[in-house]
Each structure stands twice: as structure tokens, then as C-alpha cells.
Amino acid sequence: MTTATIPSPPELNTLRLEVDGEIGTLTLDRPEVLNAMSPELISELVTAAAWLADLAPLRALIVTGAGRAFSAGGDVNWFKRGLDESGADLPAEVRRGADVLHQAIVDFRRIPYPVIAAVNGVAAGAGFSLALMCDTRIASEEAGFVCAYGRIGASPDGGMTYFLPRMLGPSRAIELLLNDPLLSAEQAREMGIVAEVVPADELIGRAREKAEKLAAKAPHYVRMSKRLIAVSLDNALADHLQLERHGIADSMATEDLREGVTAFLEGRQATFTGR
């Protein structure tokens, strides 16, 4: 009998990817520039996202930032160099960079287990988009959220105009983008962007607590819930009901379903193993 080899996380320079049991933590790690997204960090997001979606032996993920920011968004110094350097084609560079970032977003959304943003500081521009990409958000009292693109005359990216209308509705989303306020953590909670706000020194502990709670759910249930919600606004009712039909039927073939039914009838808490 052979023991399955657990795949190791990829080696990264601008991100830290740590695995503790069934919980992973991905940390944006350029604190000296508020975790701004350089071409290297964007490229490493693709590497990390593909591993997390396809290979990681995890049942929950926390995404956070090092230092005092979650992420300040795109690295403005990158844009400035492209504007100043003779012969540079900044639109082409940013078009390629956005393509890479968007591949990372697509792969993050393929992750079949819960993804929790632990927003420790400002989340601006594409950093805000990265927080919106996660399944749920817990914010430090010191966190802030700002669209920011309009402040330099840039168009939004990173999925911001996809996630915000689905979260707030189109009218509130365009109001937020055009007015571009700096939202406090509590204001973001009141709008429904953030699930809860906690003191800064409790953020990671609370995110871990939530991750462990969600990791205990049956993986088929979590995977199908994420998949069905993700496509619900784009499907016709009859098509969507077919997806639900197959999802619940497939769950009947899992050991977790047998455990869940047995535990319910015995009046105890089910223990789901992912089989």
C-alpha cells in the first residue's frame, strides 16, 4: 500500500503560501509598497491560484496582506515607468498584465473550497477586486475599501465591475464607482461587502476560526453551492434547475451524505471526510 504524496506549495517571492492542516493562508507580501501588484506578483498569483484550485489538499483558504495594507492595487510606479520610458508601450504592457491577473481571478474562482479574505488594511483598486473575488470577507477595524481607479483616470479591472453589481446591484455599484469614497470597514459591512468587522489583533484568529468552521462542511455541498451561485444570475431557470437536479443526485453517491443522514437521525454532529 502506497501513501499518497501531498503536493508542495509552489515557491514564490512576492506571495507567501502556507498550509496548516486543511487550512491554507495566502499572504500578499510586498509590505514596503502596501502590497501593490507588480508584474511579478500578478504572475505569481496565477501560479498560486492554479495550485490552490487543482492540487492543494485544503478545505479552506484565507487571503490576507502583509504589513498595514491588504493591497493598494496596481503598482503605480510600473505605470509611471511606462509613461516616462522612451519606446515603452504602456497600453500593451497593461493589456498583458490584466490578462494575467484575470487568469488568476478565474482560477481563484475555480477553487472548490471556501475562500475568506482577511482584510487587514486598505484594499484599493485591484486589491479591492481581489477581496471581492473571495467568497466572504472579514475586515479589521483598520481596513478601508476604495475603488480608486477614477483617481488616476484608469478603467476598473480585476473583476470589480463583475463582482460589485452582483453584490450591491447595478445602481449602487455604479454610484460607488463614480463617487469613489474611501469606505471604512464598518461602512463596507453596512453595505454588505464585508460579513464582519473585528479588532485588528483578532483578525487572523477570527478568519482561522471561520475557515475551520467552513472546512468542516461536506466538500460536495460546498463545491456545488459555490458553482451554482456563481452561474445563477446568468442561467435561465430551467437550465439552472437541471444543474441543481444533477448536483443533489450526485451527492447521494457520497459517503458524506450517508454520514450526514445517519448523524441527523442519531441526533449528533456529522463528520464529513470529503468522500
Instruction: Give the span between the Cα atoms of 257 and 14, in whole angstroms.
Output: 41
In-domain check, residue 187: yes
Give the pLDDT score at 38: 92
Is the pLDDT at 2 greater than 50? The verdict is no
The side-by-side arrangement of strands in the sheet containing 60-65 is 15-20, 23-28, 60-65, 115-119, 136-140, 196-198
For residue 87, what is its C-alpha cell? 519606446
In-domain check, residue 7: no
Rounded mean pLDDT, 146-174: 94
Question: CATH number, domain at 117?
Answer: 3.90.226.10
In-domain check, residue 108: yes
Question: CATH number, domain at 259?
Answer: 1.10.12
Q: How many folded domains does the chain comprise?
A: 2
Shared-domain flag, residues 189 and 100: yes
With the CA atoms of 217, 219, 225 and 226 taken in that order, what torsion angle do they form, in degrees rounded to the nearest 10? Answer: 110
20: helix, strand or coil: strand
In-domain check, residue 5: no
Shared-domain flag, residues 143 and 226: no
pLDDT category of residue 179 using cuts at 50, 70 and 90: very high
Average confidence score pLDDT of the chain: 93
In-domain check, residue 99: yes
Rounded mean pLDDT, 256-261: 90
Shared-domain flag, residues 204 and 68: yes
Shared-domain flag, residues 113 and 239: no
| Domain around 261 | 219-266
For 130-142, the pLDDT digits (tens) are 999 999 999 999 9
pLDDT category of residue 1 using cuts at 50, 70 and 90: very low
Shared-domain flag, residues 95 and 196: yes
pLDDT category of residue 62 using cuts at 50, 70 and 90: very high
Nearest alpha carbon to residue 130 among 101, 154, 169, 151: 101
Give the pLDDT score at 108: 97
For 74-130, the pLDDT digits (tens) are 877 777 776 667 777 888 888 898 999 999 999 999 999 999 999 999 999 999 999
Give the pLDDT score at 74: 86
Give the pLDDT score at 166: 95
Span of 162-166, 178-182, 213-217, 271-275 with lowest mean pLDDT: 271-275
> Which helix (H) or strand (E) segment is 173 a member of?
helix 170-179
Shared-domain flag, residues 82 and 197: yes
**CB contact at 8 A, 75 and 33:** yes
For residue 155, what is its C-alpha cell? 478603467
More confident residue, 80 or 63: 63
pTM for the model stands at: 0.92
For 6-46, the pLDDT digits (tens) are 778 899 999 999 999 999 999 999 999 999 999 999 999 99
